[in-house]
Amino acid sequence: MRAAGLHLGLVGLLLAAHFVLPAYHHGVLARVMVLAAYATGYNLLFGYTGLLSLGHAMFFAAGMYGAGLGVRFLALDPGLALLAGVAAGALLGLAVGLLALRTAGVAFMIVTLMFAQATHLGILLAGRWTRGDEGFVLQGPERVVLGLDLGDAAIRYLAAWALFSAVLLLVLRLVSLPAGRVLVAIRENEERARLLGYDTRAHKLRAVVLSAAIAAAAGAAYALLFGYVGATFASVQYSILPLLWVLLGGAGTVIGPFLGTLLMFYLIDTASGLTPAYMLVAGLALVLLTLFAPQGLAGEVRRRLAPWLP
Q: Would 56 be classed as within a structural domain? A: yes
- Residue 269: pLDDT over 90: no
Tell me the pLDDT of the chain averaged across its residues.
92
pLDDT at 11: 95
Query: Is 294 inside a domain boundary?
Result: no
The pLDDT confidence band at residue 151, using thresholds 50, 70 and 90, is confident
In a domain, 299, yes or no: no
Q: Is the distance from CB of 53 to CB of 111 less than 8 angstroms?
A: no
Q: Distance of alpha carbon 5 from its chain centroid, rounded? A: 23
State yes or no: pLDDT of 94 exceeds 90: yes
Beta-carbon count within 10 A of 288 CB: 10
Residue 245 in domain: no
The pLDDT, as a whole number, for residue 1 is 83
Average pLDDT on 88-109 reads: 94
Residue 275 falls within a domain, yes or no? no
Distance in angstroms (rounded) separating the CA atoms of residues 189 and 202 = 16
Kind and range of the H or E run holding 199: none
Region 198-218: mean pLDDT is 96
Q: Domain range spanning residue 125? A: 2-235
Per the DSSP assignment, residues forming a β-bridge with 137 are 228
- Beta bridge partners, 149, equal 144
Determine the Cα–Cα distance for residues 89 and 56; give it in Å rounded to an integer.
Answer: 10
- In a domain, residue 264? The reply is no
Residue 78 is assigned to a structural domain of this protein: yes
Q: Look at residues 85, 90, 132, 95 and name the one whose alpha carbon lies nearest to residue 115.
A: 95
Q: Compute the distance between CA of residue 65 and CA of residue 75 in angstroms, rounded to an integer.
A: 14
Percent pLDDT > 70 in the chain is: 100
Could you tell me the pTM of the whole model? Answer: 0.94
Q: Is 73 exposed, middle or buried (0-12, 13-18, 19+ CB in 10 A)?
A: exposed
Angle value at C-alpha 117, between 83 and 91, nearest 5 degrees? 30
Q: Which of 224, 171, 131 is nearest to 48 (CA)?
A: 171
When pLDDT is cut at 50, 70 and 90, the band that residue 14 belongs to is: very high
Provide the number of structural domains found in the chain. Answer: 1
Is residue 53 in some structural domain?
yes
